[in-house]
C-alpha cells in the first residue's frame, strides 16, 4: 500500500519515472497546487522496495508493506509412492 500526502506533492513525477516496476501513475484528482499526485496502478507489481519513498524530494510518500502471503502449491512436495 502507498500513502501520499497530496498537499505536499509538487508533481515532479520522480517517483513515476524511477519506479523499477512501473507501478505508479498520475491520479485523476488535482491537489491545491494544481498538480496531479501519483497513485498506484490498479494492476501493479509493487514489491515495496521503498525507492519512491526515499527519492521523493517532499517526503510525501509512505510505503506500507502488506503481509500478503502467497499460497504455495505444495502438491509436488508431497511424498509420492512408498508404503501405504
Partner 1 sequence: MVEIKTADQLNKKYLREGMWPTIFCNGCGHGTVLEYTLWAIEELGWDMDKTVFTSGIGCSSRLPGYINADGLHTTHGRAIAFATGIKAANPDLNIIVFTGDGDCAGIGGNHFIHAARRNIDMTVIMINNFIYGMTGGQLAPTAPLNSIATTAPYGNIEPPFDICNLAKALGANYVARWTVNHPYQPIKSVKDALAKKGFSLVEFLAPCPTAYGRRNRLGDIKKHWEWYDNNTILIEDYERIINYGSEKEKEEVKNMFPIGVFQDLEKPGFFEQYEKLVDRLMIKKNKKPVKKETVISR
Name the strand (E) or helix (H) holding 61. Answer: strand 61-63
Report phi then psi at 15, rounded to 5.
Answer: -65, -40
Nearest-approach distance from CB 22 to partner 1, in angstroms: 13
Q: Per-residue contact track with partner 1, 38 to 77, x per CB under 8 A?
A: -------------x-xxxxxxxxxxxx-------------
Helix spans in 12-83 (H) = 14-18, 51-55
Instruction: Identify whether the C-beta of residue 61 lies closer than 8 Å to the C-beta of residue 49.
Output: no
Please identify, using beta-carbon distances, which residue of 3 and 45 lies nearer to partner 1: 3
8 binding partner 1? (CB under 8 A): yes
Chain residues binding partner 1 by CB under 8 A are: 3, 7-8, 10-14, 17-18, 51, 53-64
Amino acid at each position: 500500500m502507498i500513502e501520499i500526502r497530496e498537499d505536499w506533492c509538487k508533481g515532479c513525477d520522480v517517483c513515476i519515472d524511477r519506479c523499477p516496476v512501473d507501478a505508479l501513475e498520475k491520479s485523476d484528482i488535482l491537489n491545491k497546487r494544481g498538480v496531479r499526485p501519483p497513485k498506484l496502478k490498479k494492476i501493479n507489481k509493487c514489491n515495496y522496495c521503498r525507492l519512491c519513498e526515499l527519492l521523493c524530494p517532499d517526503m510525501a510518500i509512505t510505503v506500507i508493506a502488506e503481509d500478503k502471503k502467497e499460497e504455495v502449491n505444495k502438491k509436488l512436495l508431497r511424498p509420492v509412492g512408498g508404503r501405504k
